[in-house]
Amino acid sequence: MTDIACLATELDEAVRNVTAMAQLSATVPLTLDQAYEVQRAGVSLRCDRGDAVVGVKLGFTSKAKAIQMGVGDVIIGVLTASMRIDDGGEVDTHRLIHPRVEPEVAFRLGDDIDPHDPRADPRSAAVEVAPALEIIDSRYRDFTFSLEDVVADNTSAARFAVGPWQSLAEVSSGLDLANLGVTLDIDGDIAEIGSTAAILGHPLHALTAVARMARRYGLPLPAGTIVLAGAATAAVPLPTTPGTCVTAAVTGLGRASVTMGQRHD
């Protein structure tokens, strides 16, 4: 029998000890449902230590990444308060294994989404939108994993920062969210250029996908939930030199930035 708690503890210790581990799938045949159980158990371990769930994130939302991974659907992970960095705040790079960073669009829910209500349009629950940065940090060696591995590892979720929130209604009245220019820059040098179109063709589609995944895997989506919709460009290695600034800029939405903190060797 697959020991879900044991696998979750192994991943949790990799996070806490900042040490990469072997893929679970190398030794344990995991189904996707079991992988989500491991993810849930890992989030519970965090919450037992006083952390709190603040949001969800999607992965594999770009066609390029889905093809690269050979997957036909998005994956969902959970964001907790301890992963959050204030806009402009410092990243504790010494607590991360081999982090990468990607520019995203974030939504905040103004109402609960009931994933079981077939009449509800999950998109209408989102009231605010913001530019965001996600720092992913696979707990597996060489950032190499199967679909089940990465789901068990909470979709590589590690840190995130959200820029200034704006009213989604106001933004949508003047801008086409479906195709906004996105840049990721490091100390002012552009590292990646993309478009919000890379996020499922339209970032608002992420809300429908989140509701579908929440229904399947039993995730609550209360008002206040932050939704990271997905990456608009490829992820790049997070610089670790203290003081380096990484910024995501989304046309019409603004910017979200983080700065690398001092090393603690």
Residue 265: CB minimum distance to ligand 0L1, A:
25
Q: Which residue in the shown chain puts its C-beta closest to Mg ion?
A: 134
Among 12, 134, 137, 153, indicate the residue that binds Mg ion (CB under 5 A). Answer: 134
Residue number with CB closer to Mg ion (11 or 105) = 105
Cα–Cα nearest to 125, from 59, 221, 191: 221
Interaction partner, residue 109 (Mg ion, ligand 0L1, none; CB < 5-8 Å by kind):
none
Binding site for ligand 0L1 (CB under 6 A): 57, 59, 134, 136, 138, 150, 155-156, 231
| Single-letter code of the amino acid located at 85 | I
Residue 243: CB minimum distance to ligand 0L1, A:
26
Residue span binding Mg ion (CB under 5 A) among the ranges 35-43, 68-76, 84-92, 134-142: 134-142
Interaction partner, residue 139 (ligand 0L1, Mg ion, none; CB < 5-8 Å by kind):
none
Q: Is 153 in the site for Mg ion (CB under 5 A)?
A: no
Number of residues lying near Mg ion (CB under 5 A): 2
Residue span binding Mg ion (CB under 5 A) among the ranges 82-90, 160-168, 188-196, 231-239: 231-239
